[in-house]
A and B are shown apart, each in its own frame.
Chain A
Amino acid sequence: MFLRTDDDKTMRCRDIRRQLHAYLSGQLTPAQRLRIGRHLAQCERCYAAFQAELATVRHLEAYLPALGRPSAAQLARIWQNVKAQTRQTSARRADSRPAGALLTLTLALVCAAFIFRGSLSIAVAAPLPPSPAIARATATLLFTETPESPGVASIRPTASLTAAQARLPSAAPAPSARKP
């Protein structure tokens, strides 16, 4: 035989009261609604809580839609401000259009000038193919640190380069030419 204690009832009441809001707003299943309805019919305290919840819903439904209703004068004033601000923005956009076009054109010209200058300087700076001797001499020029200024790289010929080697042509291609 199952005996219902006061603790059981308190827990059940707490559970019911927690669901009163959902009960009122139609969020529960028919079975849940039936269970709560039956409980409310038997429990005075929960019924009082239900009445309080119902009154809160009614008060909020009655008063909140009326809260802060603007007057016609207020709405007209806001509309004038909205119109003025929208016009200002449109005018600013219209003003900025020619300036934007000019800026774009300037940028395009600058870019074109750079590209043109770059190709010109490449064409001017492009040397004739070096003679094999010069190529070999160039290959032996290494970046080395000078003892006078450590840390500063300078170009110095190494000891392996002799005047004869520099003068004599060789069948071996220059290292730069060997690279694919």
Chain B
Amino acid sequence: MARRVAHPARSARDPSEEARFQDLIARCQQGDQAAYEALYNAVASDIYRLAYSLLLHPQDSEDVVQEVMVYVFRSLRQFDPKRGSFRTWLYTITVSRCRNARRRKWLPTVALSSLLSTKSEPRAPSSQSPEAAVAWRDACESIERALSKLSPRLREAVVLRYGQGLTYREMAEVLDCPQKTAESRVRLAHEALRNSLSEVELGLLEEFGSA
């Protein structure tokens, strides 16, 4: 009995998206101010999600997005499409900035957001009932707690794979490691996540995760 499981083959290298980026980059280099804003709107949300999943801290994530975008706008001339996609380049910069942010924060600090309750909460799909929305939020918090227990390297791997939908090849490019290492990190992250989630949390995740 062979059960075939479909795994979505997603990639950061979407040809139409890449062509759009190339067009925007060319316009930016000609000094088109609207192109800068369009480029920001196209990628900022994904960069924030990546930064937040790695740092689990809203203010630090905002800072990282700002740093990354300023750097990208200044260094657009350095981007070489022959060496990889624009998105992969962006993710490489973002992961690097997140590592720097983590290093800067090696001293234990209390997040201001936790005191002011400004923590970024995952928004439930709008069609859900209030009860379902609460359950969704609880499930997301369980995942976030489990992620926070992962080592930074494993977290990077699992977030790039499932949060951003990168292939192992692209992950290897972003993480600057062999493809086998990227695969192995994701496998280890699965094991660690399974071990850190309780039965109740797994049940909660099952409610939405298998839908």
Contact = CB atoms under 8 A, between A and B. Distances in A.
Interface stretch (B15-23, B89-97, B202-210): B202-210
Contacts of A67: 49, 52-53, 122, 140, 143-144, 147, 163
Given A21-B186, A25-B7, A79-B40, A62 B144 contact: no
B175 interface: no
Interface in B152-195: 158-159, 161-163, 165, 168, 183, 186-187, 190, 193-194
Contact of B122 (A56, A66, A85): A66
Contacts, number: 145
A26 B7 contact: yes
Nearest to B1: A41
Interface string B66-93: 1001100110000000000000000000
Interface string A49-65: 01011111111111111
A66 B210 contact: no
Interface size class of A (residues with CB under 8 A): 35 or more
A53 to B, nearest CB: 6
A24 interface: yes
B25 interface: no
A54 B206 CA distance: 11
A55 B40 CA distance: 35
A70 B73 contact: no
B115 interface: no
A74 interface: yes
Interface SS of B by simple majority: helix
B1 A37 contact: yes
A65 B163 CA distance: 4
Contacts of B3: 37, 40, 50
A79 B62 CA distance: 10
A24 B62 contact: no
Given A21-B186, A85-B66, A68 B2 contact: no
A62 B211 contact: yes
B183 A22 contact: yes
Interface residues of B, number: 55
A58 B49 contact: no
B120 interface: yes
A33 B136 CA distance: 35
Contacts of A62: 205, 208-209, 211
A24 B7 contact: yes
A110 to B, nearest CB: 33
Interface in A1-54: 21-22, 24-27, 33-34, 37-38, 40-41, 50, 52-54
Nearest to A62: B209
Contact of A75 (B36, B45, B52, B162): B45
Contact of B205 (A26, A34, A54, A63): A63
Contact of A78 (B7, B44, B52): B44
A46 to B, nearest CB: 12
Nearest to A72: B45
Contact of B162 (A38, A65, A82): A65
B69 A64 contact: no
Nearest to B143: A63
24 contacts: A24-B5, A25-B186, A57-B7, A58-B210, A59-B205, A60-B158, A60-B162, A60-B193, A61-B209, A63-B122, A64-B158, A64-B162, A65-B49, A65-B162, A66-B140, A67-B122, A68-B52, A70-B44, A70-B45, A71-B120, A75-B48, A78-B62, A81-B66, A82-B73
Please provide the 7 A-B residue pairs with the shortest distance between their CB atoms, ordered closest to farther. Answer: A68-B52, A37-B2, A41-B1, A64-B163, A59-B209, A60-B162, A64-B162
